[in-house]
Amino acid sequence: MPQLTKRTSYYTLLLPAFIIYIAVIIFPIFMSFGLSFTEWKRFKMTGFIGLRNYSEILADAVFRRSMWNNIQIMLISVLGQIPLGILLAYLLHRKWVKGDKFFEFMIFLPITISSVVIALLWNRIFSPVGIYTTFVRMITGNPDYVVRIFESEKFAMIPILVVLLWQHTSLYMVIFLANLQRIPNSIFEAALLDGAKESTIIFKIVIPALSNVIFTSSVLAISGSLKSFDLVYAMTAGGPVNYTFVMALYLYLHTFTFHNYGKGSAVSIIIVLLSVGLISLVRGVYAKAQQRYE
Amino acid sequence: MSNRTKNISTGWVATSYVLLIIFSLITILPVAWMIYSSFKPMGEIMLHPLRLPTQPSWDNYRKAFKYGNVVVSFLNSLFYSGISTFSTIFLALAAAFALSKFSYKGSRVYYGLFTLGLLITVNSVITPLFIMETTVGIYNTRLGVLLPYVAFGLPMSILLATSYVHGIPDALIEAAVIDGASYLQIFFRIILMVSTPVLATMAILNFLGNWNEFLMVFTLTSGENMRSLPVAINSFAGRLNEDYGLQFAALVIGTLPMFVLYLVAHESVIKGFGEGALKE
């Protein structure tokens, strides 16, 4: 075999990955952007319509509801999963409990289950023959109780949010636990010797030490929240009515049911812009917080 | 003073137990309920939802295998996740070697582009991807699923692999160069061999992610024989299915393979997610 030059070896190693990546991820992003200004009828592109797809989407009450539902998912992720994840990680890290490995094993288990299975399982739990319903019947003594509250406009998102909290908190727990183990134990011991309270340790030592990880986790949580599809699709498919619609579902509807690729692409672009905006916002908050600690 | 610290600790110990037990129970109870219900006939589930099966039977599983195309979708899932995981980690490690040990100026740009991919979700490209695959003729083919699986696995894998390969001593590579080894030989004989820990992490993260992936298989394939397990389960045991026993059996089938993997390798899985998902 003739020896490749250094430069040729470099590209032989790099390009296979790079070409697949560009073809499947970067190129389609630009194509999405272009498509978002086009009109489609019966599987055919019929013309360039400027920003009309965007104005139609933003004027659509279903889309606005979807966006609000995505924001709720984001809030439960950033303000629910992450703080709970920190708390659980800290409790496990301090080794106050026996069998911490068992707890870790059990709490992390949902991460290995597919969202479709989780969605269908929790639907059963809230169904008339589910654990939750049976439990409420036993407590209240009302044998005919069925869960109706989640059919209302106001509370329809609650089951989805609860399941998301259950499904992903453990991911952050495990991430924070791995990073807590990098903080030298002597720091905790010194603080305890000085008579510091546990809450002081959490707020003055743990959170500042983890601030980088908290920031990256928030970024992941935001981009994850804006893409949620599987769980919502399998659990409610956006219903009842359209109370639990999310942006990805709206996108799916336009691209794959109506074959309106222009509108579908415009939704993609809105999701990307929203994601970039929210992440910059978190970056700003993070920079402010860091200034305060220094 | 020591007394005071001890008191504080007791409170925290109790809180820890309560919280951890609650969190464990809301995993154990639903999962146990799902498993034992799958051995109950429909009528018994309706009458006594929480009771253990009085006469456990495999009927629901027989039905699931008969109507649900379970074997084909299981093999599809194995194929999609296995091949894409293997390709992703191999390509990612090769790229990581190039990016971290060749000291070319362009490397920073390539690396930046790859890490940008961490923020791009399937939603943002699914419409063009569908059009592209239809045009090229790989819509509803296994290749049409594998390519996006590999591409979406690359950003995180390259991030992990680059930080690992970066830590391999340059002296090791320089010595091989002096001995007359080519760069590709160095990749296969040295880099690949010393990178097993990071390869394991990458393999776990990619395999689990692809095994549970739904949207791409759902939208980029249409034939029943192309489906992966999650898509098959959703279509034959989905929301509108009224045979609860069958549905539970389907859910158990969907959970079991990953559960076994987790049981055998939970330490590596937890480590993989903990250290893998967020390296600074």
pLDDT in tens, A168-202: 999 999 999 999 988 888 888 888 888 888 888 89
Locus of tokens 């990955």? A17
What pLDDT is attached to residue B280?
Answer: 43
Cβ distance A175 to B273 less than 8 Å, yes or no, reads yes
Q: Which residues in chain B touch residue A195, judged by CB atoms under 8 angstroms apart?
A: 1, 4-5
Q: How far is A111 from chain B (nearest CA, A)?
A: 9
Which residues lie across from B219 on neighbouring strands?
none
Q: Distance (Å, rounded) from C-alpha B175 to C-alpha A168?
A: 46
Q: Which residues in chain B touch residue A264, judged by CB atoms under 8 angstroms apart?
A: 126-127
Q: Which residues in chain A touch residue B26, judged by CB atoms under 8 angstroms apart?
A: 166
Cβ distance A96 to B27 less than 8 Å, yes or no, reads no
Cβ distance B24 to A103 less than 8 Å, yes or no, reads yes
Cβ distance A112 to B262 less than 8 Å, yes or no, reads yes
Q: Distance (Å, rounded) from C-alpha B280 to C-alpha B262?
A: 26
Helix (H, G, I), strand (E, B), or coil: what is residue B90?
helix
Candidates B122, B239, B247; nearest CB to A227: B122
Q: Distance (Å, rounded) from C-alpha B148 to C-alpha B128?
A: 12
Phi, psi of A47 (to 5 degrees): 160, 175
Cβ within 8 Å of B, A 41-80: none
What pLDDT is attached to residue B195?
Answer: 95
| Strand extents, DSSP E, chain A | 38-41, 44-48
What pLDDT is attached to residue A263?
Answer: 96
Phi, psi of B228 (to 5 degrees): -95, 170
Q: How far is B249 from chain A (nearest CA, A)?
A: 11
Test mutation, A112, A212, A218, chain B, max B CBs within 10 A? A112
Q: Which residues in chain B touch residue A27, judged by CB atoms under 8 angstroms apart?
A: 128
Q: Name the percent of chain A lying above pLDDT 90.
A: 66
From first to last of its 280 residues, what are the pLDDT tens digits of chain B?
344 444 557 888 998 999 999 999 999 999 999 999 999 998 888 888 888 998 899 999 998 888 778 889 999 999 999 999 999 999 999 999 999 999 899 999 999 999 989 888 899 999 999 999 999 999 999 999 999 999 999 999 999 999 999 999 999 999 999 999 999 999 999 999 999 999 998 999 999 999 999 999 999 999 889 999 999 999 887 766 778 888 899 999 999 989 999 999 898 888 888 876 554 4
Q: How far is B49 from chain A (nearest CA, A)?
A: 5
Q: How far is A231 from chain B (nearest CA, A)?
A: 10
Q: Residue A163 corresponds to which tokens in the numbers above?
A: 């399941």
What pLDDT is attached to residue A85?
Answer: 95
Test mutation, B51, B113, B124, chain A, max A CBs within 10 A? B124
Q: Which residues in chain A touch residue B17, judged by CB atoms under 8 angstroms apart?
A: 97
Superfamily of domain A52-187+197-293: MetI-like (1.10.3720.10)
Nearest CA in chain A to B50: A131
Phi, psi of B150 (to 5 degrees): -65, -50
Candidates B94, B127, B271; nearest CB to A264: B127
Nearest CA in chain A to B218: A230
Contacts (Cβ under 8 Å, ≥6 apart) of B155: A21, B114, B115, B116, B117, B118
Q: How many CA atoms lie within 13 A of B76 on its CB side?
A: 29
Contact B223, B76 (CB under 8 A): no
Cβ distance A275 to B122 less than 8 Å, yes or no, reads no
Q: Distance (Å, rounded) from C-alpha A215 to C-alpha A282?
A: 8
Q: Which regions of chain A are under pLDDT 70?
A: 1-3, 293-294
Q: Which residues in chain A touch residue B125, judged by CB atoms under 8 angstroms apart?
A: 24-25, 28-29, 32, 268
Q: Would you list the domain boundaries of chain A?
A: 52-187+197-293
Q: Which residues in chain B touch residue A170, judged by CB atoms under 8 angstroms apart?
A: 23
Nearest CA in chain B to A192: B5
What pLDDT is attached to residue A155?
Answer: 92
Cβ distance A6 to B275 less than 8 Å, yes or no, reads no
Q: Which residues in chain B touch residue A123, judged by CB atoms under 8 angstroms apart?
A: 239
What pLDDT is attached to residue A254?
Answer: 95
Judge whether A139 is closer than 8 Å to chain B, CB to CB.
no
What pLDDT is attached to residue A218?
Answer: 92
